[in-house]
Amino acid sequence: MTTIGQRFIEILTSEVQKNGRKTEIVDVFQWVHLISLEIIGQAGIGHSFGILEGNVPDYLAASRDFFALMAEVWYFHPFITFFSRLGPASFRRAVVEWIPHRPVQRIISVSDIMHKTAADIMKHKREAMVNGTLDSEVAAGKDIMTALLRQNLVVAPQDQMTDEEVLAQVNGLAFAGNDTTSSALSQVINLLAKHQEVQEKLRDEVHAAHRNHGKNLDYEQLNSLSYLDAVCRESLRLHAPGAFAIRVATKDWTLPLHYAVKTKDGKATLTEIRVPKGTNLHVALRAANKDERTWGADAEEFKPDRWLEPLPESVSNARIPGIYSSMMTFLGGPRACPGMKFSQLEMKIILSGLVSSFKFDPSEDKIKWKATGIAKPHVQQPDGRVSRNPMMPIRVTALGDLE
């Protein structure tokens, strides 16, 4: 992962300096989206998308467009669970293809691209296993897809995953890992561009680590950088890539409320809510992360230093069930994000490399974040129109070798 990050810095440096200047307006979202896919490809599923060689795979655009398309057809969401249980997959496919609505047809197209990509990778992995050439493959067979295929060879038939289940796992890893991490990286870079004092302090810490350990920081060395960790935590608290999650009650339940609420007529105060089985629950991740009753009056402010000292008692008293620092960014419980540690490491590797090599300043463009499943930056025009595709122009200055 570190090698990929270093190569990314070299490519971005060339992009910034391509016109003979040290400063250029760069669409940072495009670049972090590219590198996030390549990292999850190589380290997660043992496949290179060729991005470091200049390729832009169809998978990238497909994964970029999927959530936006799903947001366009929000009125179909209540029926998804019903349709998912309706007959075989071939029948469901035929029903969806019959719907004469462009966003639905685009969803079919991008889904086919992602499915075909994963199927081609799985076929290649199986051939490498048969031919005994895994050691010469990307990740040398130490990736999740290979692990799943190997496990299928040793478990009982009834415990084996079907091809569709393996493909679903791989697509889930590549798709979710790429979109969420690129969103998180874009958010933190945008924050650093707006808060120069934080950016300088972070750069000083990374440069000091490079002087002590060299530029190839390992896992332990990266995690020892307290301010880097604080910046990442604070950005993920303020701007969780996903605004909310949906869960379904599997049984009748009485949900206790940490903060009492009044009824609509204001005549009663509720400390618990009765939740019948089958109820759809919208879990407000960002609201929990920025509740002033929990985090204090400065909950909406970007203050990495809050993580360098004990958090208020109100945070621990809230007993937030998230798996990450009393936040709901990575959810909680058995369905929490399985890639949390991976994404944290990826974020720290890329961010430490970027701040040590570049200075970031806001551009003249107004950035508007659209939460179409995963929050992504768009450029807002003076007349209020917003760019169709996500982008985040930032003024990037190459610093050269200052260490």
Using left for φ > 0, alpha for ψ between -120 and 50, and beta otherwise, residue 95 falls in alpha
Q: Are 372 and 65 in contact (CB under 8 A)?
A: no
Task: Name the residue type at position 374.
Answer: I
List the end-to-end C-alpha distance of the chain, in Å, as a whole number.
22
Cα separations in angstroms, 36 against 51, 129, 175, 215, 222 = 10, 27, 10, 20, 18
User: SS3 sequence, 224-262?
Assistant: CCHHHHHHHHHHHHHCCCCCEEEEECCCCEEEEEEEEEE
Give 261's contacts (C-beta < 8 A, 6+ positions apart): 269, 270
Task: Using alpha carbons, select from 350, 353, 306, 344 the residue that is nearest to residue 206.
Answer: 353
- Backbone dihedral angles phi then psi of residue 3, each to the nearest 5 degrees: -60, -40
337 appears as a binding residue in the annotation: yes
250-276 burial code (b ≥16 CB/10 A, e <16): eeeeeeeeeeeeeeeeeeeeeeeeeee
**Separation of alpha carbons 255 and 272, rounded Å:** 5
Residue numbers belonging to the annotated binding site for heme:
337
Specify binding-site residues.
337
